[in-house]
Chains A and B, each alone.
Chain A
Amino acid sequence: MKSHLTFDFTVNKETNTVFVQREFAADRHVVWDAYTQAEILDQWWAPKPWVSKTKSMNFSVGGRRLYAMCGPEGEEHWAIQDFTSISPKKNFKFFDAFCDKDEIINTEMPSSTWSIDFEDKKDTTLVSITIGHKTLADLEMIIAMGFQEGFTMALDSLDELVSTIKK
């Protein structure tokens, strides 16, 4: 079933934008909850073996989510999301920046602006995520950081694979 779900991932270096689109086999209000409720977000936001831990979340315009991406070696990457616009079950927007656990924003790390759209399809919900960066260098830095996390992820799958082979 998974293979029928649309997945699109585009990086536009002219506009310093990442565009991600994915269909989900669930009703729009359920998908909306999964993106906007901390306890559900933490179950999927971090690619394993990373874990997402939301310390606080006030999902309202002007509100903030403070969370950490925790790595297998004890790494903690703290970030905030400041909600700038919410149209219930249709779209929400936020400003994303790296910080420390005391919410002091790290201005040396790239920030980004996110817009997430939810749309009904026949039996699914289509989610479109647009992530804007200030400069191409910012975008490349984010990609490089993704590389780090993706790499640990790949190593983890390798571990799993190796343990399956052993058995």
Chain B
Amino acid sequence: MRRDVFQAIADPTRRAILVLIAAQAMTPNALAEHFDSTRQAVSKHLRILTECELVKQSHTGREIYYELELKKMKEIDNWLEQFRKIWEARFTQLDSVLSKLKHTKK
């Protein structure tokens, strides 16, 4: 199944994982301590985040650390432009509604 960034951050646990590893790279075990869910569940979330390229792995000795893939997180910033456009579109619609209201009042 194709995965996208939106899908990755649509889950609250995955969002919490991103917040945690944004501060520092962490192992799956260290991450699991922050959640009620099992280590397996956390691993599954990490796999999805990795597939979406929002996190990357680095190996230190036998431990695997997960860290944030900043480049991909920047994509979310690019979405801001879309978000801004929604407001613009909304307000343009309101402009025409307001001018209609003015005419009916007269």
Interface residues of A (CB under 8 A from B): 2, 5, 7, 9, 11, 20, 22, 24-26, 30-31, 33-34, 40, 43-48, 108, 135-138, 140-151, 153-154
Chain B neighbourhood of A30, CB < 8 A: 98, 101-102, 105
- Write the B36-71 contact mask toward A (1 if CB under 8 angstroms, else 0): 000000000000000000000000000000000000
**What B residues does A151 contact at CB under 8 A?**
82
Count residues on chain B whose CB falls below 8 Å from chain A CBs. Answer: 34
Q: Is the CB of A34 within 8 A of B9?
A: no
26 A-B residue contacts at CB 8 Å? Answer: A2-B92, A11-B80, A22-B87, A24-B95, A25-B99, A26-B99, A26-B101, A30-B105, A44-B96, A45-B90, A46-B90, A47-B90, A48-B89, A108-B11, A135-B15, A135-B19, A136-B19, A137-B18, A138-B15, A140-B9, A141-B15, A144-B5, A144-B76, A147-B6, A149-B86, A154-B85
Closest to B84 in A: A9
Chain B interface mostly: helix
Whose C-beta in chain A lies nearest to the C-beta of B94?
A44
Within 8 A of A (CB), among B6-24: 6, 9-12, 15-16, 18-19
B1 proximal to A (CB < 8 A): no
**Which residues of chain A are within 8 angstroms of B10 by Cβ–Cβ distance?**
141, 144
Bound Cα distance from A25 to B96, whole angstroms: 10
- Asked, given contacts A137-B18, A143-B76, A147-B79, whether A44 binds B6 with beta carbons under 8 Å apart, the answer is no
A-B pairs, top 9 by smallest CB distance, nearest first, are A150-B82, A146-B83, A147-B79, A44-B93, A137-B15, A47-B89, A26-B98, A44-B94, A147-B82
- Smallest Cβ distance from B11 to chain A, in angstroms? 8
A34 touches B97 (CB 8 A): yes
Q: A141 and B85 in contact (CB under 8 A), knowing A26-B102, A34-B94?
A: no
Chain A residues closer than 8 Å to B96, beta-carbon distance = 44
Q: Decide yes or no: A40 and B18 within 8 Å by CB, A108-B12, A140-B9, A141-B9 being known contacts.
A: no
